[in-house]
Structure 1
């Protein structure tokens, strides 16, 4: 796979590269698009081949998810992450956020508090608001350039009776932490003690840079398994987010039956023939492609790190332990967040996600999507340097 090869994504109505989207959100339709969290790489060859084969069949009627899909998923998580997912613990859903919305409804009531570890993926805040719940922040702490959880604050927030749920981002978007087993075990203990249900978004689980290792939340203890749910999907891993579903992993029998009843009631678990083909091929034959991708992404991180150092820029890289996103610290420039946003998007011509989108704790930061050819990274960094320095 040649990850250096640029691909024209404007052949189709792609959100990330849409000139209308760039104009609306960044005021510059010509900006280099680095805000939306998908990659500018072709999916694994096996995925493309299976989709072509499925399309050539010409009949796209009702189907079911074959045994091969579940066997491939189970083998993937067992071999790469040591997670023996039981098939009957899996429930299909249209997306990670839809699974979170369902779980919020089933484990809390309107007006209840939902704990977030900000700065964190902004759609969590949106789904909390739309469900009539209250946002309760347990902000991360930036200590010597590395984010840590504030367990003392979490214990205090969890002890409040009206706070019913913690949404965990594992690995964390946007700060790039790959949480350790010890950190996750502490979360499980605090939340179980206070009857706080944990919803763990693990869509970036396959993106951990050695020596860091992704630990599935539900595997850290039986306490975690019985008082939580994990949301997984191959969407990010294999760059197929525009066509695939997600799965909720719910070990607790009663909680899982409740989720299944909802799925049947609203008929959200229908099968898409192309999604089935893509998911099965990804898990069966995508390992070598992903290994090469992880190497390339680490090369992109190294380029950014070295560029900042060589040019002695007043911008700091928060070293990512995983994901295909980097969190950049612009605070030393002393710029107002709106001024910084305008300089980046309209003067430098680079569309980065402003840090305040992820909560006020992200003010002065920006998120860059690095799942793109290195020449794109290079042009973006040169533009930022020329504008800011």
Structure 2
């Protein structure tokens, strides 16, 4: 009993002290002062850095939306499906709607994705507390070393597949290897654009060695999609390989026949023979005088004049439909396409830049209702 009373006296003596600490007791709940949260201030430099990164991201998003809208409008103009409208279709549509005779390709009108026009920039690498997002940030070149890490992961993946094939009693065949014929690894400059980082020659050599090691794996065919991200096709060689080889006629002369030569509503097929004397036969019964105007005759002979081989080929053409300009343009395109089989790659590239190998899809523009012609309007009279 005595110990119980002593305990009550001690409790009563603590009440004034607890009141001074602003702690109150009730029969239902216990109330205490709220805990203070320490908020860390963000430095001005870090805040400006994050704002710049956010502005760039918003700018690229807006440009991407505008590009998608423009692509959809362009597809509707060309009567194509906007969902399946590729970059090649965009280039052809721009070339058709805005034909340009400028020699430099960079000066011609174009429509590309924002990622190809605006230089790449690194996204925000820190959070508000200053901690880097990337686990390899302190290597100095996180994107490059992440790429090497991904290549090694693909190598291990190919080795794992090879082991599984051997366990099943099947050895990897030569066809299972990664065939990079017609492709070359990205150059140092192109790789730096993708990584948005500057790398040294030694680091670039390390990249080449690891990619070659990946391609040499017996089961590297499973990594083809990854490898092609860092390889580019040899465009010149692929285009040259598509050029048909000349055939030989009964007289031992080489000849090439080009079918489906189109220009407006004219259709033609053109055969050129080498060596020749410069003879031009049109529809079996006519020579170059088939065209009454000098301009049309020059159009037909221009491909041979351009490569300085006038008088060394014989031309046989069958043409129908269209008018004088359309028939001359169809024959000219057929001659230019046939000459590829007799000249070297440098001359072919010059012909391509000059526009001789580009098919002209232009058509007569339709008349519009409410006006006199396609563009011509009726005379406006105020009274």
Bin for the TM-score computed over the shorter chain: under 0.3
TM-score, length basis structure 2? 0.20
Query: Whose RCO is larger (CA < 8 A, sep 6+)?
Result: 1
Task: Name which one, 1 or 2, has greater alpha-carbon Rg.
Answer: 2
Which has more strand, going by share of residues?
1
